[in-house]
């Protein structure tokens, strides 16, 4: 998770929502990424989507059955769906996402019994640090332009 946090910091430096992710296989990081939605002008360029592409390319396989994803924020429904399609074994996330989280907070795509694959999920890993990076980022955004990210009520 520490490496995912490093990736999140890179995202923040580039004015991206600070989410970072790594994929680990056999205790070795095989892929790392951070959000690039703004940079690429692509709403699908979440850290998880980018790291899945890198990992499958590294393995020359569409399956990530022997892999674990570490990500600083609970994956959204798009990312959780992609993780299931990639058949990831395990998902470990830092901060829960009470608005769009799809690994147990709002939805639970990763453990949905009617899908052809389920992933093991562990949440709350270094949640304070992971959530803190996001809080600081959005506080700064609101301070600079209150209309961009209005406070949650």
**Positive or negative CA dihedral for 24, 19, 14, 140?**
negative
Which one is catalytic: 48, 66, 74, 153? 48
Contacts of 122-125 spanning 24+ positions with Cβ under 8 A: 122/90, 122/91, 122/92, 122/93, 123/74, 123/92, 123/93, 123/94, 123/96, 124/93, 124/94, 124/96, 125/1, 125/70, 125/92, 125/93, 125/94
- Angle formed at CA 115 by CA 123 and CA 61, multiple of 5 degrees: 80
49 contacts 71 by C-beta, under 8 angstroms: no
Catalytic, 48? Answer: yes
Which residues are tagged catalytic? Answer: 48
């Amino acid at each position: 998770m520490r490496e995912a946090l490093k990736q999140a910091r890179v995202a923040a430096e580039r004015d991206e929502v600070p989410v970072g992710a790594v994929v680990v296989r056999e205790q070795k990081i095989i892929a790392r990424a951070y959000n690039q939605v703004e940079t690429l002008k692509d709403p699908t360029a979440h850290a998880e989507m980018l790291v899945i592409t890198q990992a499958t390319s590294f393995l020359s396989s569409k399956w990530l059955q022997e892999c674990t994803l570490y990500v600083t924020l609970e994956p959204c429904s798009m990312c959780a769906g992609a993780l299931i399609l990639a058949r990831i074994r395990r998902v470990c996330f830092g901060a829960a996402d009470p608005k769009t989280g799809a690994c147990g907070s709002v939805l639970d795509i990763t453990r949905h019994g009617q899908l052809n694959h389920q992933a093991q999920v562990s949440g709350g890993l270094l949640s304070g640090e992971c959530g803190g990076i996001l809080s600081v980022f959005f506080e700064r955004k609101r301070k600079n332009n209150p209309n961009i990210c209005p406070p949650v009520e």
